[in-house]
Structure 1
């Protein structure tokens, strides 16, 4: 039995209101096969037991909504990009939001959501090409979907474009050390068996590079958190990643892993990283991004040279 986070969520309805299909840009390097990723997410969203694999994204959604609760204002129009199975919509405080628009390129992710009754709308769309006018939303959220974009800066610019002035963006994405145990185990196994290795785990944005993504935003905040989930073995971990729609979709990926490599990698994983109880840990490093669309009403730093207290005297000043 794998160890899962205990997450309490409220379930709400959505209604499919509008369908928009988009095509990826041909001017960027295609690190990821977006069509393959769409198929993977459709397969995951349409599975009969899809809710079994919601535990990680539900937990991250709860973390995003917890950060949102620190912002003391209401949000009449909300956009959730890469919404998946509605993890944000299930968790967000309905007393502070009005209409919620949920976007995802995979229709089954939208159609497979547990529904009830709330004012939300589902749109099939890619974050790099959002089908909304400028300055529309008070809040944009993103829960573990941005890391699959080939043109991530363009996706963030789209978020900035559709935000109203003084609107806020809250996003979470996988960062550099995510699944490092799995990556290292597979690489060591392939080196041993084949004398070389193929990339089996997708690349992720490093925290040191994340600041550049929020160019154009003001009052930005970036923080990182590690979530460790224990699994019985490596096969269970890989099965869950597939169930989440988070299996690799790099353009030049190898589509199959030989059985002898999987066997060797499983043994290496347990030997190097295994816990005393026989389980193996999997690290998910989560990068949280917060940024505001600039507006004249926001607090701004005073002009240079107007300070009245030197930093070296700050301790004495605070003691007064």
Structure 2
């Protein structure tokens, strides 16, 4: 597994927004009912879904690392899109007293219900697009590998910020726009050659440069963003697609075509190996994970000084340094 990490600066917002309570039909990209069915189906296949936990476990551990950097013990944390409990595997009892696991799929929530965690766990079937929590009620919210399936991401972030207590953090991880670019390219080239057109085979995702502005627009302070490119090798495209299915990460775009023909699948697999395969016959799959941290505003948080309040001129400081040289 290959990992790279870099700090991404905040830039101008470009993401289409709607409302915080729901998304009008014309702005809907994802079929949430289909996504629930996919996650239900994945959880029902217990053996294969547990084998495919490797990616979500890896990302969840990195989210918990960021939570551990906050030197306080939380009473109640909400885990949005918790799945079967990836975050909960890495939480220690000195970090939090209770975690509320929330997922659109009841099957996902119940898959590992017999596993004992280090902290108290409550399970609730909740749609991430419609949060039921009262304003100023939560000590922290975390979300790992879930919010990239939300239609109204700005609205979801606003709901998260409202439900947090002042000076409380939100820590999230979503898949970014470069995720599975190898698979996307291979499928597009195949369909372009064989059918003379393209169809959405890989879900559209938020780009890195938008996330900082999304957090600021939602009302968060002290925002931090960083990125991991996690590259996983597979024997072929078919094993990759089977694992995506077992993760509950199959395509859920409303405009998706219902199936891929066998001939197109075989051709796309060959294109994938030709373009990206290594000398051992394996193919890489890149998962771009965007991590975000934002804090609900509070009067005790650091603030920038008013414009023009500086008592030392930067120009004079540089001139003094140059004179010493």
TM-score with structure 1 length normalisation?
A: 0.89
Q: Does 1:123 align with 2:121?
A: no
Judge conservation of contact 1:101–1:122 (CA < 8 Å) in 2. yes
Find the aligned partners of 1:60 and 1:316 in 2 and give their Cα distance: 45
1:256-275 equivalence runs, <5 A: 256-275=259-278
Find the aligned partners of 1:308 and 1:275 in 2 and give their Cα distance: 59
Q: Secondary structure at the match of 1:137?
A: coil
C-alpha displacement of 1:94: 2.0
Structure 1: any 5+ residue segments left out of the alignment? 6-22
Find the aligned partners of 1:272 and 1:27 in 2 and give their Cα distance: 38
Q: Secondary structure at the match of 1:282?
A: strand
C-alpha displacement of 1:284: 0.3
Judge conservation of contact 2:22–2:152 (CA < 8 Å) in 1. no
TM-score with structure 2 length normalisation?
A: 0.87
Q: Does 1:309 align with 2:312?
A: yes
Q: Does 1:147 align with 2:145?
A: no
C-alpha displacement of 1:88: 0.7
C-alpha displacement of 1:212: 2.4
C-alpha displacement of 1:261: 0.7
**CA 1:4–1:232 in 2, change beyond 3 Å: closer, same or farther?**
farther
C-alpha displacement of 1:45: 1.5
CA RMSD of aligned residues (A): 2.0
Find the aligned partners of 1:4 and 1:227 in 2 and give their Cα distance: 6
Judge conservation of contact 1:76–1:138 (CA < 8 Å) in 2. yes
- Identify the residue that residue 300 of structure 2 maps to in structure 1: 297
- Identify the residue that residue 202 of structure 2 maps to in structure 1: 201
C-alpha displacement of 1:54: 0.6
- Identify the residue that residue 8 of structure 1 maps to in structure 2: none
C-alpha displacement of 1:71: 1.4
Residues paired across the two proteins, number = 299
Judge conservation of contact 1:127–1:158 (CA < 8 Å) in 2. no
- Identify the residue that residue 84 of structure 1 maps to in structure 2: 83
- Identify the residue that residue 59 of structure 2 maps to in structure 1: 60
C-alpha displacement of 1:209: 1.3
Q: Does 1:180 align with 2:181?
A: yes
Structure 2: any 5+ residue segments left out of the alignment? 4-20
- Identify the residue that residue 19 of structure 1 maps to in structure 2: none
Find the aligned partners of 2:46 and 2:64 in 1 and give their Cα distance: 27
1:1-320 equivalence runs, <5 A: 25-26=23-24, 29-49=27-47, 50-114=49-113, 115-116=115-116, 118-214=119-215, 215=217, 216-312=219-315, 313=317, 316=321
**CA 1:305–1:25 in 2, change beyond 3 Å: closer, same or farther?**
closer
Judge conservation of contact 1:77–1:139 (CA < 8 Å) in 2. yes
Find the aligned partners of 1:99 and 1:73 in 2 and give their Cα distance: 14
